[in-house]
Structure 1
Amino acid sequence: MNESSHKSSEVEKARTPRRQRGHARVEVLLSAAARVFADKGYDAATTTQIAAAAESSIGSLYQFFPTKEAVAQAVVAQQSADLSLRLANMAEASPDWSVEELATRLAGALIDFRANHPSFARLIDTPGVPEGVVLDVRKSMRVQLAAILAPHAPRLGKARLTAIATVVQQVMKSAVALSDDPAAESATAARAAQAELREMLRLYLLATLSQRQS
């Protein structure tokens, strides 16, 4: 290794810990932002609240995210990437499942994702994140859902599968509404309602896909 290459290697080694620390700091900021957006909603949330929730300075936040919109977009990107990976893994495994297993697994995974990521719904379903980003997330999810359903409903056309995927998305939104329902007597009651919603989606998928097989 010549002297120039050696120096370049040393510089890269020095940068690596800083990059790792920067990545860790971004993860903390995004986790805090997700909690604040879930609690306050996009409009009421502030960058000051996000920085405080991350136990960070506002300057540190602005170093990575210069605006609230940038933070919200990053949260959506992170969570949608997580959901996309889950759906991709399901698409790979699901052709070997029975319709019953598909309906059960898909309903549970989607309802639980929405319920466990309330900020996702807050940001996707309300103004804040650029409309183009929101549309891309929704379209991508519908395409993945349709791909998961297609092997189990070979007689259905693309339009019908997309319609079913759209219905699934709307049911998922209800999972968050249930978790935020002010009329719920307790957290236990809210979870029970979410379980009913998960069962409803399971039965809808089971009935729809089974009918089309006959």
Structure 2
Amino acid sequence: MPEARAEESAGTPESSGRPRTGADNGTGDRTGTGVGAGAGQGATTGRPRRRQARGEARIAQLLEAAADVFCASGYNGASTNAIAREAGVSPGTLYQFFPNKEAIAIELGEQLMQRWRETYGAAFVISRIELPLDRLLDAVLDPLIAFNCENPAFAVLTHGSEIPGVITQEHDALHATMLTRTEALLAAYLPELPADRVARTAEMSFVLFKAGLDLIMAHEGAEREAYSAELKTVMYRYLEPLVCDTPDRTAERSIDTP
């Protein structure tokens, strides 16, 4: 993540002391062998040890603006000029903190993925296996759906071939971890189910969730709520027969269906 510089030196990248390491690509982003070029290959760290509060606030402002621009234009259609304009600052001010769009995307992606880890970590809690299936689905799915609805830039920055490779790699690792957590929760909830069946059920459940989430994200308001309810209904009807087949659990489960 690029090191924050004192805002008082705002102006142009050159006046702030940042060397021009590559050519401008016409959108306001710089390309070449500088910090931004290395960022896409995983060389993003040189994470600063200290940042003044004013610099932190400016970075947060720029990342919030970047999230809005990425959602509106996609990663490819976004530019540093558009992000600076959305943030209400000059491109020179932006370049004090980030050398290019890629560096901004990596920083924003890292923050969102950390929050996503915290969200699903709190959702996939083994102690919840004592809940009836409908309430278990509420407890697990509601925070995951809410996170994605509140952070639409997360989907933009974790899908698409043009996304910086370091984000794609981290997202793939998150995907694998979530699948493992899903399998562990199902294994605890359905202890009589053979391991190979648990693995298949976990993967199918995960695919169902992703497909349903796409529909949820494509709608707003009452329709979004309706699709959230539909996703829970689909998940319930898929998993409920497995619960009924488990000797240690009662078959009496209920869910409000639309």
TM-score (norm 1): 0.72
State the match for 1:125 in structure 2.
159
Partner of 2:235: 201
CA contact (8 A) 1:153 1:212 kept: no
Q: Does structure 2 conserve the Cα–Cα contact (< 8 Å) formed by 1:32 and 1:53?
A: yes
CA shift in 2, pair 1:180/1:88, >3 Å: closer
Q: Is this contact kept in 1: 2:62–2:84, CA < 8 A?
A: yes
Paired position in structure 2 for 1:5: none
Distance in 2 between residues matched to 1:162 and 1:154, nearest whole Å = 13
Task: State the shift of 1:48 in Å.
Answer: 1.8
Gaps in structure 1 of 5+ consecutive residues: 1-14
1:82-132, Cα deviation, whole Å (9 max, x unpaired): 121122223344244343321221122222322332221222121213132
Please tell me whether residue 74 in structure 1 is matched to residue 107 in structure 2: yes
Structure with larger RCO (C-alpha < 8 A, sep 6+): 1
Q: 2:120·2:144 contact (CA, 8 Å) conserved in 1? A: no
Offset from partner CA, 1:119-156 (integer Å, 9 cap, x none): 21222121213132231221222223333333212244
1:78–1:125 distance in 2 versus 1, CA, 3 Å: same
Q: Which of 205, 217, 225 is residue 179 of structure 1 equivalent to?
A: 217
Asked if 2 retains the 8 angstrom alpha-carbon contact of 1:142 and 1:165, the reply is yes
Fraction of identical pairs, as percent? 28
Number of matched pairs: 194
Name 1:23's counterpart in structure 2: 56
Q: CA deviation at 1:52?
A: 2.0
Partner of 1:138: 175
Aligned counterparts of 2:215 and 2:128: Cα–Cα separation in 1: 28
- CA separation of 1:89/1:47 partners in 2, compared to 1, >3 Å: closer, same or farther? same
Q: 1:129 to 1:158 in 2, by over 3 A?
A: farther
Q: Do 2:217 and 2:224's aligned partners in 1 also have CA atoms closer than 8 Å? A: yes
Question: 1:148 — aligned with what?
Answer: 185
Q: Once the two structures are superposed, what CA deviation does each residue of 1:160-211 show, in whole Å capped at 9, x if it has no partner?
A: 4454444344323542344336xxxx74334423332243234434444x14
Alignment match, 2:144? 110
Equivalent residue of 2:88, what SS? Answer: coil
Alignment partner, residue 72 of structure 2 = 39
Could you say if the C-alpha distance between residues 202 and 77 of structure 1 is closer, same or farther in structure 2, counting changes exceeding 3 Å? farther
